[in-house]
Amino acid sequence: MLFFSKFVLICLVFYVPVGYSSQVISACYFTDWSIYRPGYGSYNVSEINVCDTKCTHLIYSFAKYNIEKNTLEIVDIGQGFVPILTSCKKYNKKVLLAVGGWTYSEKNLIQPLFSSHDVIDQFVQNSITFLTEHSFDGLDLDMEYPSCWQMECDATSGEKESFAYLVKTMKSEFKKHGLMLTVAVSPNQKVIDVAYDVKTLNEYADWIGIMAYDYYSYNDKKTGLVAPFNNQPDEKTAYSVQSSVELWINHGAKHNKLVLGIPLYGKSFKLDLKNQNGLNAPASGAPILGQFTKEAGILSFMEICLYLKKNNWNEVFLKDLGSYAYKQLDWVGYDNVSNIKRKAQYILDLKLAGAMFWALDLDDFRNVCGYGKYPLLTAFDKTVQWKCDNTL
């Protein structure tokens, strides 16, 4: 009996995060365009069991704002992905719809929503109808960004106040129908100041998801990590995952309302010189295109792990920053399994609500690298799960 008591004590001390009373959120974005990628990169939910993931929430991306009808619209709804995704609810997953995203957040596509409170009020009611008809559990407002559409800021537009009114009104009405309301927000201080009434978001949103990624890109003309945990060397301003979380907390967001965005992709660069291949190295050329993603400056984790395994890229792991890999003039900064575990522990230490991942189709969902399906999502799950390791 004494041995059993010691075993239980060990489990309590090392495996239960103090202060947690509910499940750690693991929200995963699903992109409806990923089906069009070639070969193994095609994320077709008709053949891939999307319910068999480590996600607590699945978020369909993206709906757009239909200006004429003042409602939500899924452009590719004819693909039939919505009922497949919402069928995951029987496995105790919540399924949300995201509206906006970068493409659908051009000023002319979304600004009319904020023309008056009457327009917002009607949009809220129309959204309830749309979400209910399609069996969604809620809506994720991924509007990038009120008063700062696609980073063009106008503090005099009044959209900060209108967005706050939208969040407050929407949550008040959603509660009557058991619907969730979440927001995906910028990590940038300039945008936070201009776009968000943080007090209102904190009070009415079910969670605030910080898009803590895309800190560096090939447009910077020097190498950088997609989501550095701490500041990169020589970075003179607060420019990292930790500093972004601290910004939101300092602006009034509560720890247990914050969900940390984690990328399942890396940002790629073309080096100027082979012998300068570390952080902040000159990189002014056009980056390599991934064999699946086919997008300049972005490589999925599946593509990165294949480069490491089959093309003998060199990997450099930096515990409190991130990871990068390179070969010849090609370079990519990303999070590997160990970096994901580090961020998961940070979430536990700060008692944040959880994490959101962009995106399901960018992890190694087919196990082409031999480390198991969804190795990054699995690493996060293993870090935050509360059960005891029975090998003790």
Q: Looking at residue 9, what is its pLDDT? A: 35
How confident is residue 154, by pLDDT bands cut at 50, 70 and 90?
A: very high
Alpha helices by DSSP H, listed for the chain, are 2-15, 81-86, 107-110, 117-133, 159-174, 189-195, 198-204, 241-250, 301-310, 337-350, 375-384
Mean pLDDT over all residues of the chain? 93
Average pLDDT of 354-381?
Answer: 98
CA distances to 66, 101, 131, 177, 195 from 70, in Å: 5, 18, 14, 20, 22
Q: Looking at residue 22, what is its pLDDT? A: 57
Largest CA distance in the chain: 70
CA distances to 164, 191, 350 from 353, in Å: 21, 22, 9
The number of beta carbons lying within 10 Å of the beta carbon of residue 108 is 8
Average pLDDT of 21-36?
Answer: 90
Q: Looking at residue 11, what is its pLDDT? A: 38
How confident is residue 23, by pLDDT bands cut at 50, 70 and 90?
A: confident
How confident is residue 343, by pLDDT bands cut at 50, 70 and 90?
A: very high
Predicted confidence (pLDDT) per residue in 47-105, tens digit: 999 999 999 999 999 999 999 999 999 999 999 999 999 999 999 999 999 999 999 99
Look up the CATH architecture of domain 23-265+337-384: Alpha-Beta Barrel (3.20)
pTM of the model: 0.93
Alpha carbons 35 and 43: distance in angstroms, whole number: 5
Higher pLDDT, 73 or 8: 73
10 pLDDT above the threshold of 90: no
Average pLDDT of 186-210?
Answer: 97
Average pLDDT of 175-181?
Answer: 98
Average pLDDT of 355-380?
Answer: 98
Average pLDDT of 275-283?
Answer: 98
392 pLDDT above the threshold of 70: no
How confident is residue 14, by pLDDT bands cut at 50, 70 and 90?
A: very low
- pLDDT-wise least confident of 10-14, 128-132, 354-358: 10-14
Question: Which one, of 248, 211, 207, 242, lies nearest residue 228 by Cα?
Answer: 242
Which SS3 state, helix, strand or coil, does residue 364 take? coil
> Which residues are identified as catalytic?
144
Extents of the domains making up the chain: 23-265+337-384
Q: Looking at residue 3, what is its pLDDT? A: 33
Which SS3 state, helix, strand or coil, does residue 248 take? helix
Q: Looking at residue 295, what is its pLDDT? A: 95
Average pLDDT of 250-264?
Answer: 98
